[in-house]
Amino acid sequence: MNKTLKGMAMAGLAAVFWGSMGVAGQYLLQNCHFTPMDLISIRMLLAGSIFVGIEFFLLKKGALKVFETKQNIIDLIIYTLTIIGTQLTFFVCIQYANAPFAAVLTATVPLWIMIFMVVFQHKRLTVKEVFCGLVAVAGVVLVVTGGSFKNFNVSGIGFWAGIGSGITGAFYVLLPQKFIARVGSGLATS
């Protein structure tokens, strides 16, 4: 299988798994009385254990590289907090709204990244970037409201948790870049 096809297949599977996770999370929150903290604790413990096991198997002693410097430990803590923030706000949004609503607001991550780059990195956006950002915002508004603000039937907590999921998702992408460059994405995520 060539790299392009393999990449497309992996992206497609990731989308299916991510969408399924939202629906499964909604079911567990609404029907099994889980809390968002229950879900993220279980997910992070299981996924973290699997990733750490894989890294120790592949890298042996190199898997401890993440703890070699004080800066790595600080960056690991920051990265962990952004993961917790993203997942917690996503599941709170599902709890107070629903999975599709949470997915739409979480999909605003690229917009928040653009805003952060303008504000904190003083990047000038191109006309194409501004246009795409405005179209994306319009799309989110249309999906969330159904085209009418009279039908906007989501609690404030659900709405703000969804916005928080987009913002923390942007932090999750932007903050750990140097850390990932130093230790590798496998160690950073495990």
Structure confidence by residue, pLDDT tens digits, 78-101:
888 999 999 999 999 999 988 888
pLDDT at 13 over 80: yes
Q: Is 190:54 a contact under the CB 8 Å cutoff?
A: yes
CA separation for the pair 176, 69 (Å, rounded): 15
74, exposed or middle or buried, with CB in 10 Å at 0-12, 13-18, 19+? exposed
- Top-confidence residue, 143 or 91: 91
Tell me, what's the pLDDT at 38?
93
pLDDT at 8 over 80: yes
Q: What is the pLDDT of residues 153-183, one digit of tens each?
A: 778 899 999 999 999 999 988 888 888 888 7
CA separation for the pair 41, 164 (Å, rounded): 19
- Top-confidence residue, 184 or 30: 30
Tell me, what's the pLDDT at 42?
92
Tell me, what's the pLDDT at 67?
82
Convert 33-58 to b/e letters by CB count within 10 Å (16 or more is b): ebebeebbeeeeeeeeeebeeebeee
